[in-house]
Amino acid sequence: MADSIVPVFERPNSLKPVASHFCPGCHHGTIHRLVARAIDQLDLQQRTIGVASVGCSVLLYEYFDIDVVEAPHGRAPAVGTGVKRVHPDSIVFTYQGDGDLAAIGTAEIMHAANRGEHMTVIFVNNTTYGMTGGQMAPTSLAGQVTTTTPYGRNLDTDGNPIRMAEVLAMLDGTSYSARVSVDAPKRVSQASKAIRKAFQIQKAGGGFAFVEVLASCPTNWGMSPLDANERISQEMMEYFPLGTFKDLAEA
Amino acid sequence: MDKRLFVKGNEAVCMGAIAAGCRYYFGYPITPQNEIPEFMSRELPPLGGTFLQAESEVAAINMVLGASAAGARVMTSSSGPGISLKAEGLSYLAGSELPAVIVNMMRCGPGLGGIDVSQADYFQAVKGAGHGGYRMVVLAPNSIQELYDLAIVAFDLADRYRMPAFILGDAMIGQMKEALIPHPYAPASDLPAKDWAVTGKHGRSKGNTLKSLYLKDGALEAHNWKLQDRYRQLQQHEVRCETEGLDDAELIVTAFGSTARIAKTAVRMAREAGLKVGLIRPITVFPFPEQIFRQATERCRKVLCIELNAGQMVEDVRLSVDRQADVRFYGRPGGTGSLPTPEELFEQLQKHYKD
């Protein structure tokens, strides 16, 4: 009977009813959904301003039903700073990939965090440059074969993968820094809580909140969606441990 | 009677910006424009505004982009090397149709060059420092009063045409002190509402999006034609230019900014010596006063362009007169000890007047 069907899973209001351009098995869709749900749950849709970055996540405005400004590559935290200083009562978040945040935009993220800008940063770490076709990222693992490390990432010449959640946790301006993953239902639920918390902190005027999300990129890893999903727990978590590295609200 | 102040150029441009309602400034220190961030850091907080010293020129221009996107009147300033770093942001501002005011107190280059006066950033400002084929309004003040007045004009033009407006000053005009009458700002009543700004939806049915990425078939071309149409409108409606003695001139001298001050003195010396010399001083160097040059050279077939660089604006003069006049150039590339005296320019005027 139709009236006995109870919806338990709906599209968040903050997401538009459109199909995404993301590849099969890509985790951006899941992460978009978690961000949208946090915005809905905290009743922030009407005052949220997103800052889109350069990479696969640039089309944020195609999927989120909110105001969005697009930033140059790596500059989202600086653009977000300008927005937030003009509208201190708004909720500002940036959504950035690893090349954007941890390579070309290192200065911007470090100093936005260090100033304690009242914004939320969602950092999607999939160890590769997705949009440009799978080049080495600042987070690519040792030995990882990419289109610009055809012999594998060599730590002696290419440097070490950078752990941004830990780095930012060291800055006095950071209120919250955590690393989560969306590779399994339980961890999706944990990620959801961390993302909600990062928005909750901003809503309460609590300063700079950062969530790094480990994510897959089956296309550029050259893996099936299932194998790519496996790689997160099999290879990435050892170097990028999940956890909360700073939480001033708990301290 | 209006009050008269005795202020530095770097302060005057800030006073004009504040009069125009600018309450946000993001910048980074570089000589010879440091009085600008210093002034703003002192004056904006008591007005409820924001001054932020950014971690880099790149971050500063992107904070400007964010504040502009949020609907505010916002300014940044720098000098040559810093403007090079801001070039990325200028292109994104232009591509995203965002108004902002950017000041360059030119120093000499290339590279680190020096901190003294030069006009070698003309190409950078007028031809577009960044990628992708955009333009900015470029205003070239030649006095402390004009720095104040044109700062106000820059904000209005930026808002009216939704594009960055650039004030092309230099070390001399920035560091120099002279009298300023700080006229109050009379807001233009017909400026378009910033209904495109990101503020949070607050009940709007659709979210506002500000971007420069256009991937769909034909979308980027349409966007670019729209921008080009605005540049054409600028050329039709917003040219500003000072002219003197063109009616009987047998030689037209042209110069912009600080150099125009020296050139003007040389032109007066020439007139006193009985030489029929006129002056064209572009105040907007983009849009360039093409028509004024074309009309003036229908009668007078000789133009001498004087710049503190090795020849940059002279190219726009040549394009404007389109071979109907003999366009000559005198310049020095700038740097300490290379500012010409009025006597030096007068000598050049005499020489070019004769042959």
Instruction: Please state, for a pLDDT cut of 70, what percent of chain A lies above it.
Output: 99
CB contact under 8 A, A86 and B63: no
CATH code for the domain of A37: 3.40.50.970
Please give the biggest Cα pair distance in chain B.
71
**What average pLDDT is seen over chain B?**
97
Q: Report residue A130 as tokens.
A: 């997705």
pLDDT the model gives residue B228: 98
What is the spatial order of strands in the sheet that B251-254 belongs to?
B241-244, B277-282, B251-254, B302-307, B326-331
Q: Report residue A177 as tokens.
A: 């820094």
* Residue B128 confidence (pLDDT) above 90: no
Chain A hits for B60, CB-CB cut-off 8 Å, are 78
Q: Report residue B1 as tokens.
A: 């009677």
Which 3 state secondary structure label does DSSP give A205? coil
Residue type, A140: S
CB contact under 8 A, A68 and B198: yes
pTM assigned to the model: 0.97
d(CA B254, CA B247): 15
- In this complex, the residue of B24, B52, B88 whose CB is nearest that of residue A72 is B88
CA–CA distances in Å: residue B244 to residues A72, A141, B57, B277? 45, 69, 39, 9
> B251 CB near a chain A CB, below 8 Å?
no
Instruction: Please state, for a pLDDT cut of 70, what percent of chain B lies above it.
Output: 100
CA distance B192 to chain A (A): 19
Residue B63 φ then ψ, to 5°: -65, -40
- DSSP 8-state assignment for residue B170: E
Asked whether residue A67 is assigned to any structural domain, the reply reads yes
Asked whether residue A109 is assigned to any structural domain, the reply reads yes
Mean pLDDT of B102-129: 96
pLDDT the model gives residue A160: 98
CB contact under 8 A, A82 and B210: no
- DSSP 8-state assignment for residue A118: S
Q: What's the ipTM? A: 0.96
pLDDT the model gives residue B129: 87
* Residue A251 confidence (pLDDT) above 80: no
* Residue B328 confidence (pLDDT) above 90: yes
**CB A91, CB A107: distance < 8 Å:** no
Q: Which residues are within 8 A (CB) of A28 and not within 5 positions of it... i.e. 6 or more apart? A: A20, A22, A56, A57, A124, A215
Burial class, B214, CB count within 10 angstroms (exposed 0-12 / middle 13-18 / buried 19+)? middle
d(CA B27, CA B12): 17
Per-residue pLDDT tens digits for A115-143: 999 999 999 999 999 999 999 999 999 99
CB contact under 8 A, A67 and B62: no
Per-residue pLDDT tens digits for A137-165: 999 999 999 999 999 999 999 999 999 99
**What average pLDDT is seen over chain A?**
97
Residue with tokens 């005499």, as numbered in its chain: B350
Q: Report residue B201 as tokens.
A: 């939806």
Chain B hits for A64, CB-CB cut-off 8 Å, are 207
CA–CA distances in Å: residue B26 to residues A51, A194, B53, B70, B148? 18, 32, 6, 14, 19
Neighbours of A157 (CB within 10 A): 7
Asked whether residue A16 is assigned to any structural domain, the reply reads no
* Residue A184 confidence (pLDDT) above 90: yes
Chain A hits for B75, CB-CB cut-off 8 Å, are none
- DSSP 8-state assignment for residue A146: B
Confidence tier at A1 by pLDDT (50, 70, 90): low
**How many domains does the structure of chain A reveal?**
1
Asked whether residue A6 is assigned to any structural domain, the reply reads no
Chain B hits for A80, CB-CB cut-off 8 Å, are 66
Testing the interface with B: which of A75, A100, A104, A111 to mutate, by most B Cβ within 10 A?
A: A75
CA–CA distances in Å: residue A132 to residues A56, A154, A162, B54? 9, 21, 20, 29
Neighbours of A87 (CB within 10 A): 22
Asked whether residue A13 is assigned to any structural domain, the reply reads no
- In this complex, the residue of B54, B198, B201 whose CB is nearest that of residue A45 is B201
Asked whether residue A26 is assigned to any structural domain, the reply reads yes
d(CA A82, CA B325): 49
Mean pLDDT of A64-79: 98
Chain B hits for A84, CB-CB cut-off 8 Å, are 66
Mean pLDDT of B207-231: 98
Confidence tier at B297 by pLDDT (50, 70, 90): very high
Per-residue pLDDT tens digits for B53-76: 999 999 999 999 999 999 999 999
The DSSP bridge partners found for residue B235 are: none
**CB B80, CB B134: distance < 8 Å:** no
Which 3 state secondary structure label does DSSP give B16? helix
CA distance B208 to chain A (A): 5
CB contact under 8 A, B59 and A45: no
Confidence tier at A7 by pLDDT (50, 70, 90): confident
Concatenating the DSSP letter of every residue in B210-236 gives E-----STTHHHHHHHHHHHHHHHHHH
pLDDT the model gives residue A101: 98
Testing the interface with A: which of B40, B62, B68 to mutate, by most A Cβ within 10 A?
A: B62
Residue with tokens 């530095």, as numbered in its chain: B8
CA–CA distances in Å: residue B116 to residues A200, B31, B174, B250? 51, 9, 11, 34
Distance of CA A38 to the CA centre of its chain: 13
Summary count for chain B: helices (H), strands (E): 12, 15
Query: Is the backbone peptide bond immediately before B340 cis, with ω within 30 degrees of 0?
Result: no
CB contact under 8 A, A70 and B52: no
Domains of chain B with bracketed CATH: 5-180 (3.40.50.970), 241-354 (3.40.50.920)
Q: Which residues are within 8 A (CB) of B252 and not within 5 positions of it... i.e. 6 or more apart? A: B246, B277, B278, B279, B280, B296, B297, B300, B302, B303, B304, B325
Mean pLDDT of A6-30: 94
Domain carrying residue A228: 21-247
**CB A220, CB A62: distance < 8 Å:** no
Burial class, B84, CB count within 10 angstroms (exposed 0-12 / middle 13-18 / buried 19+)? middle
Asked whether residue A14 is assigned to any structural domain, the reply reads no
Neighbours of B21 (CB within 10 A): 15
Residue type, A29: G
Residue type, B201: K
Chain B hits for A69, CB-CB cut-off 8 Å, are 65-66, 69, 96, 198, 209-211
**CB A180, CB A120: distance < 8 Å:** no
Q: How many Cβ contacts (< 8 angstroms) between chains A and B?
A: 133
pLDDT the model gives residue A2: 58
Asked whether residue A181 is assigned to any structural domain, the reply reads yes
Mean pLDDT of A30-57: 97
Neighbours of B112 (CB within 10 A): 10
Which 3 state secondary structure label does DSSP give A87? coil
pLDDT the model gives residue B273: 98
* Residue A78 confidence (pLDDT) above 70: yes
Instruction: Please state, for a pLDDT cut of 90, what percent of chain A lies above it.
Output: 95
Mean pLDDT of B266-272: 98
